[in-house]
Amino acid sequence: MMRRLMKGNEAVVCGALFGGATHFFGYPITPASEIAHAAATWFPKLGHEFLQAESEVAAVNMLYGAASAGARVMTASSGPGVALMSEGISYMAGAELPCVIVDIQRAGPGLGNIWPEQSDYNMVVKGGGHGNYRSIVFAPNSVQEMCDMAFRAFEIADEYRMTVFILADAYIGQMMEPVAFPETVAARARKDWAVYGDEASRGNLISSIHMSTHGQAQHNINLQTKYEASAVIADSEHVGAPEADTVIVAFGIASRVALSAVQSLQREGASIALFRPKTLFPYPEDSLLDAVKHARRVVVFELNNGQMADDVDRIIGTNGRSRNGDASGPVRRYNWYGGVVPSAAEVIEKLKGDIDG
């Protein structure tokens, strides 16, 4: 198996190419620009298409057109750029067009700064644009997972005809780690719904418009049914004893800091575990409930204002109680803002305050 030392922003392009990506349309923005740089180099060398659009709005509409023609398409941006794409993403959801979008999060709101944050959670996981739509969301916490999740994302996007987000951050995008690549490039099958410009696809129509209220309502019902069916791909990681007194929930770069804190406290004899969702939609709800069913306290650690904590609170129940009543007390929220990634020692200090309190 081939291995190479590279940045997360480069690894995600490699994973996409092994996953069968053929078209990249984008507009550069820090801290995601290396993705476009890598795509501009590697896509044409393999006979694929790279185009730097004049704006994020133009790029997302190029995705719409190429996806309609059956291509495996992708783009990459950061929070401000993804916000500009939101209308186009909604149109793609309405037309059930598959695509892959990489969001390398930076601190906000507004222009903010270029340091890592996780404040795009609500925008990406809850939909972001107008209408009743969702996107599948992967949350890598390593350079290897940037490659692996990009590789898998195109198959998932085609299977469900949905946008798939890879929600990373400036830290994961810029760090360098060894990466093992897939053995083969994924096969690309003809899509029976796409418009190829040939006789076989002549009757296909790509649109998000439904002129009747009944047709629009039924389309929404069909979309919600599909979103519910995607629950089978929910994925997570649990580190620690299943009967741990304290469970810390974290994703992305925050989960790496949390893991260091958990392992240090475990060596001191603390009953503590880490739950890491690898998918944020569909969220691994059943796995979370299993992880916290014996916990006396649940801590959600994230680099935002508690956006995932709202979902964790909803899943395990009112005031932080699990459905079977085993977990006690409210969900604790450890929130950091502005691009600050705390050290494991800082997280340990807060955890000890809760554990000893």
Q: What is the CATH number of the domain that holds 186?
A: 3.40.50.970
Provide the domain count of the chain: 2
Domain that holds residue 255: 236-356
pLDDT tens for 1-20 read 688 999 999 999 999 999 99
How many of the other CB atoms lie within 10 Å of CB of 211? 6
Beta carbons within 8 Å of 46's beta carbon, 6+ residues apart: 17
Q: Give 225: exposed, middle or buried? Use CB within 10 Å, 0-12, 13-18, 19+.
A: exposed
Q: Are residues 323 and 296 in the same domain?
A: yes
Q: Are residues 72 and 221 in the same domain?
A: yes
Q: Looking at the predicted structure, is the pLDDT value of residue 320 above 70?
A: no
Pairing mode of beta strands 332-335, 297-302:
parallel
Q: Looking at the predicted structure, is the pLDDT value of residue 355 above 90?
A: no
Q: Are residues 258 and 152 in the same domain?
A: no
**Residue 94, helix vs strand vs coil:** helix
H/E segment holding residue 24: strand 23-26
Pairing mode of beta strands 136-138, 163-169:
parallel
Tokens at 130, concatenated = 């107008």
Rounded Cα–Cα distance for residues 60 and 50 (Å): 13
Which of 232, 257, 290 terminates a domain? The answer is 232
**Residue 163, helix vs strand vs coil:** strand
Which of 200, 232, 264 terminates a domain? The answer is 232
Q: Are residues 168 and 303 in the same domain?
A: no
Round the average pLDDT of the chain to a whole number and report it. Answer: 94
What's the pLDDT score for residue 128?
A: 84
Q: Are residues 43 and 168 in the same domain?
A: yes
Q: Are residues 202 and 217 in the same domain?
A: yes
Q: Are residues 152 and 266 in the same domain?
A: no
What's the pLDDT score for residue 322?
A: 45
The torsion region of residue 134 among left (phi > 0), alpha (psi -120 to 50) and beta comes to: beta
Which of 232, 251, 272 terminates a domain? The answer is 232
What is the per-residue burial (b if ≥16 Cβ within 10 Å, else e) of 153-179? bbbbbbebbbbbbbbbbbbbbbbebeb
Q: pLDDT band at 323, cuts 50/70/90?
A: very low
> pTM of this prediction?
0.95
Q: Are residues 207 and 325 in the same domain?
A: no
Contact 143, 35 (CB under 8 A): no
Pairing mode of beta strands 272-277, 236-239:
antiparallel
Q: Are residues 290 and 141 in the same domain?
A: no
Contact 102, 110 (CB under 8 A): no
What's the pLDDT score for residue 209?
A: 87
Q: Looking at the predicted structure, is the pLDDT value of residue 141 above 50?
A: yes
Rounded Cα–Cα distance for residues 38 and 17 (Å): 11
Q: What is the mean pLDDT of residues 48-62?
A: 98
Q: What is the mean pLDDT of residues 236-258?
A: 97
Q: Looking at the predicted structure, is the pLDDT value of residue 77 above 80?
A: yes
Q: What is the mean pLDDT of residues 177-190?
A: 94
CA distances from 204 to 3, 40, 86, 199, 275 (A): 42, 32, 25, 10, 44
Q: What is the mean pLDDT of residues 254-277?
A: 97
Tokens at 319, concatenated = 């005031």
Q: Are residues 184 and 200 in the same domain?
A: yes
User: What is the CATH number for 307?
Assistant: 3.40.50.920
Q: What is the mean pLDDT of residues 125-153?
A: 96
Question: Which DSSP symbol is given to 230?
Answer: G
CA distances from 188 to 20, 136, 325 (A): 6, 20, 48
What's the pLDDT score for residue 244?
A: 95
End-to-end CA distance of the chain: 49
Rounded Cα–Cα distance for residues 17 and 155 (Å): 12
Q: Looking at the predicted structure, is the pLDDT value of residue 72 above 50?
A: yes
Q: What is the mean pLDDT of residues 332-345?
A: 94
Q: pLDDT band at 329, cuts 50/70/90?
A: low
What's the pLDDT score for residue 343?
A: 96
Q: What is the mean pLDDT of residues 170-188?
A: 95
Q: Are residues 222 and 332 in the same domain?
A: no
Q: What is the mean pLDDT of residues 272-287?
A: 98
Which range among 30-34, 98-102, 145-149, 313-317 shows the weakest confidence by mean pLDDT? 313-317
Closest by Cα among 59, 122, 52, 47 to 87: 59
Q: What is the mean pLDDT of residues 306-327?
A: 73
CA dihedral angle for residue 9, residue 10, residue 16, residue 19, rounded to 10 degrees: -130
Q: Looking at the predicted structure, is the pLDDT value of residue 327 above 60?
A: no
Q: Are residues 225 and 272 in the same domain?
A: no
Contact 340, 116 (CB under 8 A): no
Q: What is the mean pLDDT of residues 12-35?
A: 98
